[in-house]
Structure 1
Amino acid sequence: MAVYVVGDFLRETRLRKGYTQEEVSYGICTTASLSRIENGMQKPGRIILEKLFERLGTENNLFDSFVSREEMELYTEIQTLIRNVTDGDLKKIEEQIDIVEKLTQNTSELERQSLFWAKGTLAAQKYGNKSDAMEWLLKAIHITLPDFNGKNPLRNKLLTFDEITIINSIAVRYAENEDLLTAIQLDMWLKEYMENKIIDGKMKTTKYPMVVYNLSCWFEDKECYKEELEMAEQGIKLCVKYGNLALFPKLVLNKGSALARLGDHENARKYLHQAVTIFEAMGRLEIVQQVTAWCKKNCEFEI
């Protein structure tokens, strides 16, 4: 499609949602650049275009904007890196980091945001270096949110999906350091943001269950079982509605655990049994053993 159509769509969506050019472009490009894009005077690169769409709470399903073969290659390799991090394959993450690092040597910092996030993940998961991990994550988020101090939500800012992912990773690091209050504060910010700012779509159905699953775990650690139950139920509802079942059994497990802690043993047994059945079907027998042992120790029933 013609470039001006992209600009029209961005402008009309922005105005419909009541956002200023400053809010949408913050940390991604200059306000002047967004104005030129909206007026059809500038062709945005793929990464910039996707981040602008995400700030508007939607996904770029209508337009492609590759300006060169090199940009297409970089975009493809960044997506591969993100998938490797999601899959947790540390060897592939390390290999892909080298590829993306070479391709971004002469690009802007914006193209390196996912690279820094991946380095933070690798530092934490492979080397157990929490300090380096947090440093990389903060470096990644400061590319587009330079005034984020790593702890306090910026509720007046619009977020891209990458920013949501990075902030969630920062929250996970706080939880690992037993700063559960900060972790909960950050992920509650993300949860509320996705509920209020992002329309339903593939990225939301991936990230929302991840955030509420984390919250349910952290509320359990804080012995806030009603809140744990609420988070688990919200995650289950979205997983079922959109058929995204990656975290479904873990959310069911957390729901059963919360019910048990709250003394509702009849329903707790039902949901814990459902979770165990799913994990058995998945071949995750180590989890089945853990749940069985937990029930034997903490409940008035066995699975």
Structure 2
Amino acid sequence: MAVYVVGDFLRETRLRKGYTQEEVSYGICTPASLSRIENGMQKPGRLILEKLFERLGTENNLFNSFVSKEEMELYSAIQSLIRDITDEDVTKLEEHISVVEKLAANASELEHQCLYFAKGELARQKEKDYSKAMELYMKAIHITLPNFDGKKPLRNNLLTFDEIMIINSIAILYSNDERTIMNAIHLDMWLKEYLENKIVDGKMKTAKYPMILYNLSCWFDDEKCYKEVLNIADQGVDFCIQYGNLAFFPLLILNKGVALAELNQISEAEKYLHQAITILSAVKREDLVETVIDWCRLSYKIDFNNRQL
């Protein structure tokens, strides 16, 4: 049985995918550092190792590499920040930002990327200061993608999951203004295609791909592009069924029903809207249930109040 060390595995995976050392290491470490890691001459830090694996389109489930107790503590704190961002837990986000700031005082810029991103999320979600949020997002993304202008996709670059999350947040900011919503669509279409073509199946793809599709279905709806909404929502529903993502499953079914209603396929729309209401009720999203029921009645004369859900 073959026995791999981390450098062997990185090199074999990179060569199998046809990537250069420059493509994989860009913004994370120097190509010379990656060469030394692949040759077993340099031990990578945990965060660098994770980002290199992500650039290769996979997740690091095989190797751990902590160079010190301090690095392990910082890595753990950064993971807490990422969970807070995903859960949109503003209270915990504030607490963990303070922790990471102290632990990252003497760390490299790569360790600061998630910190800037978290501060941007705080500015967007709590302070509603979108200009400040954009400034922080761009500061974060420029650590590893210095050529990204915030609008034009860099289709030749490999991405980490943090980069995907930051770009998606930039797109969300654009979606708040009808004058820039096409910027949002272009960015998330880039992320959609990247996740489809570059990322192998894993828990991060299972979490992020439906989110990207849900955003796109909402933004195409804003632009009244209902055939696109239907296509995107269908892809999302199928993916959620295959990989068990319950967070976005009812929302994508809802958007599918909306698209069908707008395309005047009322009978089919009613079926999917009813499914969405039932699932939302089952997962205790009563706030959304009432909103959807009222919207169906007012917009399409579909009355779910007298039905057993």
Root-mean-square deviation (CA, aligned residues, Å) is 1.1
For 1:162 and 1:22, locate their aligned partners in 2 and report how far apart those are by CA, in whole Å: 19
Measured against aligned partners, the alpha-carbon deviations of 1:107-159 in whole angstroms (never above 9, x if no partner) come to 00100111111100000111110000000000000000000000000000000
Show the counterpart of 1:34.
34
For 1:237 and 1:102, locate their aligned partners in 2 and report how far apart those are by CA, in whole Å: 43
**TM-superposed deviation, 1:284:** 1.7
1:265 and 1:300 in contact (8 A); partners too? no
Query: Which runs of no fewer than 5 residues in structure 2 stay unpaired?
Result: 305-309
Show the counterpart of 1:113.
113
**TM-superposed deviation, 1:4:** 7.1
Measured against aligned partners, the alpha-carbon deviations of 1:181-229 in whole angstroms (never above 9, x if no partner) come to 0000000000001111111111101110010000000000000001011
Show the counterpart of 1:92.
92
Show the counterpart of 1:291.
292
SS of alignment partner, residue 32 of structure 2 = helix
- The reply on whether 1:183 has 2:184 as its aligned counterpart is yes
Show the counterpart of 1:235.
236
Structure 2 matches for 1:274-289, cutoff 5 A?
274-289=275-290
Runs of 4 or more, structure 1, over 4 Å off, are: none
TM-score (structure 2 length as normaliser): 0.96
Structure 2 matches for 1:1-303, cutoff 5 A?
5-178=5-178, 179-303=180-304
Q: Which amino acid aligns with 2:18?
A: G
For 2:230 and 2:260, locate their aligned partners in 1 and report how far apart those are by CA, in whole Å: 7
Q: Which amino acid aligns with 1:197?
A: K
1:25 and 1:34 in contact (8 A); partners too? yes
Q: Which amino acid aligns with 1:51?
A: K
Measured against aligned partners, the alpha-carbon deviations of 1:82-120 in whole angstroms (never above 9, x if no partner) come to 111211221111111000011111000100111111100
What is the percentage of aligned positions where both structures have the same residue?
Answer: 68
**TM-superposed deviation, 1:271:** 0.7
For 1:266 and 1:249, locate their aligned partners in 2 and report how far apart those are by CA, in whole Å: 18
SS of alignment partner, residue 126 of structure 1 = helix
Count of aligned pairs between the two proteins: 301
Q: Which amino acid aligns with 1:239?
A: C
Measured against aligned partners, the alpha-carbon deviations of 1:55-103 in whole angstroms (never above 9, x if no partner) come to 0000001100111111111111111111112112211111110000111
For 2:48 and 2:208, locate their aligned partners in 1 and report how far apart those are by CA, in whole Å: 21
Deviates more, 1:84-93 or 1:5-14: 84-93
TM-score (structure 1 length as normaliser): 0.97
Q: Which amino acid aligns with 1:244?
A: N
Q: Which amino acid aligns with 1:221?
A: D
For 2:280 and 2:4, locate their aligned partners in 1 and report how far apart those are by CA, in whole Å: 50
